[in-house]
Structure 1
């Protein structure tokens, strides 16, 4: 069912919204690069939405900036960051930025 819906979303230009709505693990949505150059398995455990947020924060965005850019509430950003930190076993934004480096 998701595959058929994905085509409709693609035509509407809403693939990023589909990723946010489904919380599919990175690389599992149609059009996503299979087996991209995402290194360690910890990064592979992040959903597409978590990976987008992690990259923004890793590049220095504040929670408020990330929330505005991703059309999320600050509370949602905080909750996702908590999950990201747990999955990557990091405790700070600096460690997150390091974990995202290739």
Structure 2
């Protein structure tokens, strides 16, 4: 994994001014929690036993709210609706007690 502090230089090599890097965050206030890790974009790691997936992949891939409200939402909006990826925003909603889910943030932007 590349430390976050080292993302700036490669980001500059992306040949467009219409770019933005979003970051999601783990939020375990509610159940099931949101786990922002290497497996957040997967929904099936059954090819690994769960313990091995936890040790080697930093988690077991499952379909969750981060998929629906962040990753898949972004893909749908860009591919189907023609929105620009650098202009997206995300609403992850609130937990059952009304507390807001930890939001997706913009880490790097060409703007």
Using the size of structure 2 for normalisation, the TM-score is 0.28
Name the structure where helix makes up a greater proportion of residues.
1
Q: Which has the higher contact order (CA 8 A, sep 6+)?
A: 2
- In our comparison, the structure showing a higher alpha carbon Rg is 2
Name the structure where strand makes up a greater proportion of residues.
2
Using the size of structure 1 for normalisation, the TM-score is 0.30
